[in-house]
Structure 1
Amino acid sequence: MENKTNCLLICNMSGARCISVLSSFVRLKNEIGFSREDAEPYIQSYMSRCLGKDQKTFRVQDTSKERRMCKIPCEQVFDEIFDGKIKEMKTGNLRYI
């Protein structure tokens, strides 16, 4: 919890970007052309960890004016990252384009 708070403070004070595990996939795709095929072993490893903790969804911000966070099935989020439908926010959260 403390690291997350520090990260948010850095974002608010200096404009630095935070990164989450999910946003790292967005960056790898965008910055070095990491494909879904390249990412698959890492996705499966992360998914097994999430499912082991009974996590079946990730939160992604929708495109509405209210900017609601929606619970999206984990596998769908990875599909949409590599389909270019999701972008990373400064907070490390994900948002639909």
Structure 2
Amino acid sequence: MLRTQRLTAITAITLLAAVISAPGLAGDRETARQNASDKRTADGFDHGMKAVPHSAAPDAPGYGWRYFSDPATRRAVVISPQGDYYYSRGKGLRWVAAEQT
């Protein structure tokens, strides 16, 4: 069971890296920082993040994971089925929050 969860997590991270790596490598950091701040609106939401669709079947790694990316600013968020949030600024994922119990 634990091995399956690890494989699922690794697969999810790999998928996210593939989604954000190409546009992120070409981005200018200063422009990305400015664009990131420009995306925040008065309501406090970041409308630059877009859902990344995937078609993982219930028995496939990555099933239940949710991916969001903003390639223009080299940022991404991954949410695990357990509610853990991971954030990336183009240098790998970093755990940032868990579902409150």
More strand by share: 2
More helix by share: 1
From the CA coordinates, give the structure whose radius of gyration is larger. 2
Provide the TM-score with structure 2 as the length reference: 0.30
